[in-house]
Amino acid sequence: MLNNASRKKIEDNQILIFGIGYVGLATGLSLSEKNEVHFFDVDEKKINVINAGRSPISEIELSNRIKECSVNIKASTFSKAVILNADYIFLALPTNFDITLNNFDTSIIETVLKQIDDCRPSATIVLKSTVPIGFTSKMQKKYPYLRLVFVPEFLREGISMSDTINPSRLVVGSFDKKNDHLINLLLSVSLNHPPVYLCSSAEAEAIKIFSNTYLASRVAIFNEIDSFCLQNDLDAKSVINGISADPRIGNMYKNPSFGYGGYCLPKDTLQAMASINSAEFSVINSIHESNKNRINILAKEILKKAPKIVGIYKPVMKAGSDNLRESTSIALGKKLSSEGLEVVIYEPIIYESEHEGMRVISELSEFTINCDLILANRIIDPLFEEKILFTRDIYHVE
């Protein structure tokens, strides 16, 4: 762990960010207060929105920050000239898990690395995308003149800006002593003086993947406790309160849900399983199966109530987010549809009349009147009578 006593004020760098998702946008905006930041993306709609001084992602802190720092921000598609002038190039590109490959799909990152190497083989590249363990080292061997550093992110949807400037820790995957300037650059935008951990790139990749695997396992075990309470007529809140009172267990990530979803936990858990590739790691291998089983258990409980029309209320994965990816509310709705129930959705960010084979109702009053059971992964608003609401949210928090 690096001592933070050597922090310096770092500013006036030319920063290039590939990718305008949660990670890329939050990283770029955090750095834009003291540095010039240029975003690259293939999505011209996102580019135009950023150049107009607005956030392409629905998150209040991102929207506020981009208004404050828009003078230092530009966005465009690929530009060789910008790459030639950049002090640091950050890659925050998607790496979806490919079931066929049984691995993260790193093809977008590999394409961009080739483009950078073709025009500036001496560039310093900071990988923020979650990648397979050993990927950075593999790419370093392929492009020996590039300087590759893996610096994982640990962001939560809905508060990605806050987590970027108040990080729990800074992990830097490289033993190259030339990274002092980069470390100080990243520390210069943090408000909470985080500890710094220096390790190999493979160790940093493992820290990222297994951090999310642990969080997924914690969600899974509290959901299984809640499932047991449901099936045995026990008060889940009473049981979980008693368990989490032990300081070794604690209060974080204990609120039952329909399961874990979103951008990171599902794909990172699958990558952890692919990385170990052995039945000997039984705990890690069981997490994904537990999450799938949660949907089946909840579907059985809902079917016992014999509803005619089931409504899914705001299936976004996080309050303040516009992310529907791997939504467990949607997964539960699809399971109920397969059992013959009519399922409808109320979600203001969905503008189509249908989503995942389920009808979307745009008016809340119509949605409420039509449904005789409403599913809510989290009780964001006290809108429904308890008799028509099905949720496992016992603490009313994210």
Q: Active-site positions?
A: 264
> 14 and 86 in contact (C-beta within 8 Å)?
yes
Q: Closest by alpha carbon to 46, among 54, 35, 38? A: 54
Structure tokens, 286: 């069981």
The residue to which tokens 């969600």 are assigned = 219
39-44: which pairs have CB atoms within 8 A and are 24 or more residues apart?
39/73, 39/74, 39/75, 39/76, 40/16, 40/75, 40/76, 40/77, 40/78, 40/79, 40/82, 41/75, 41/77, 42/77, 44/77
Q: Count other C-beta atoms under 10 Å from residue 342's C-beta.
A: 15
Alpha helices in the chain (DSSP H): 22-32, 44-51, 60-69, 80-85, 107-119, 135-142, 160-165, 180-187, 201-231, 236-244, 265-276, 282-304, 328-338, 364-370
Q: Please answer whether residues 393 and 376 qualify as being in contact, where contact means their C-beta atoms are separated by less than 8 angstroms.
A: yes
30 phi/psi in degrees, rounded to 5 = -65, -35
171: Cβ contacts below 8 Å, ≥ 6 apart: 151, 152, 196, 197, 199, 204, 207, 208
Give the HSE-up count for residue 367: Cα atoms under 13 Å, Cβ half-sphere: 22
